[in-house]
Amino acid sequence: MRKFRNILSLFDGISICQEALHDQNLDYEICYSSEIDKHASAITRYNYPDTIHLGDVRKWETWDIDWSKIDILFAGFPCQSWSVAGKELGDRDPRGQLMWVMMDIFTHIKKHNPNFLFLFENVKMKTVFMEYCSNAIGIQPILINSSLVSAQNRERY
């Protein structure tokens, strides 16, 4: 079993990242969770009581974290402003601006631990948005159908 030091999950939801790590026999010491939905956080607290809850991602600079020990960053920044089912305002929507908060955290971790791993996820979006986000992150995404790993049938980057 491979063991990581610490993981950080932004926009954590019900902390499926922890479930995925366990399913793959990947262990970690600490999971930090940033989530503002109280119902999602309650599920995480129930399933993973040792999770350290950090709250609002926009307050990341106040978090008491040893950034050099973050080995994996998970993030699925809010999709409503990028999705064809949403208003398609991109980062002109306050929710879309959270991608830039994620990128600030990504850059900060990279400065302290250049060898960390990351997994970002989002919906299939218009090509112009996909290219915009890809250029900001610095990678080209892989498009998969969520039916590979869940009961949903949705294309995701």
State the catalytic residues.
79
> Would you say 146 and 152 are in contact if contact means Cβ atoms under 8 Å apart?
yes
Residue 65: closest CA among 137, 10, 130: 10
Structure tokens at 46: 């129930």
Structure tokens at 22: 């366990």
Q: Rounded CA gap, 74 and 15, in Å?
A: 10
DSSP 116-148: -EEEE--B-B-HHHHHHHHHHHTS----EEGGG
In the numeric block, the tokens 């973050």 are attached to 70
Q: Rounded CA gap, 15 and 44, in Å?
A: 6
In the numeric block, the tokens 């999770």 are attached to 51
